[in-house]
Amino acid sequence: MSEQSPAVVFIGAPASGKTRIGKRVAKSLELPFVDTDARVVAAHGPIPAIFEQHGEPRFRELERAEVARALTEHAVVSLGGGAVLDEQTQRDLASVRVVLLTTSPDAVAARLDNEKRPLLKDGVDAWVRLVEARRPIYERLATRTWDTSSRPIQHIADEIAAWVRDADGARPTETEENR
């Protein structure tokens, strides 16, 4: 991977653990951590307010700008759950190492904070519909997949950091699944 591209990019559904695990991987790799949603919030205010005042299309524009910027940095990058919907983001992710984090509806129920996630105001049922709609994109973009439903997040982070450190860094031709 280039020094001007991320060491690894995390994708996945809301509440799958992208930020929590990403921060741990960044610390282990001694790299900066970039959360594109946090950057949007820092520059433009809370995501629910952006949705309410300007709509989802405007949020997606702001998100895309932050994703494009993050993908030029040598860091561990976490994308918002819907960032992969953008076709340019999909093209950009084809050249980087991408980890898909998945989780079960039961596990996510305890993690959801619907006030911060405007597309999930209807709870776990909304989460399931959203995940099912995005699953083909997530799976197509992923280099590797880790399930975060029940394993300790530190174990998952350690495995991902070890994988990133692997000298070959070659992108496998098929998504590998760790259960």
**Binding site, annotated residues for substrate:** 37, 60, 81, 134
Compute the distance between CA of residue 9 and CA of residue 32 in angstroms, rounded to an integer: 12
Compute the distance between CA of residue 33 and CA of residue 111 in angstroms, rounded to an integer: 21
Q: Are 172 and 99 in contact (CB under 8 A)?
A: no
Q: Are 144 and 99 in contact (CB under 8 A)?
A: yes
* Binding residue numbers for Mg(2+): 19
Q: Using alpha carbons, list the distances in angstroms from residue 9 to 125, 137, 161, 173.
A: 27, 15, 12, 17
* Binding residue numbers: 15-20, 37, 60, 81, 117, 134, 151
* Binding residue numbers for ATP: 15-20, 117, 151
**CA angle, 92 as apex, 90 and 95 as ends, to 5°?**
110
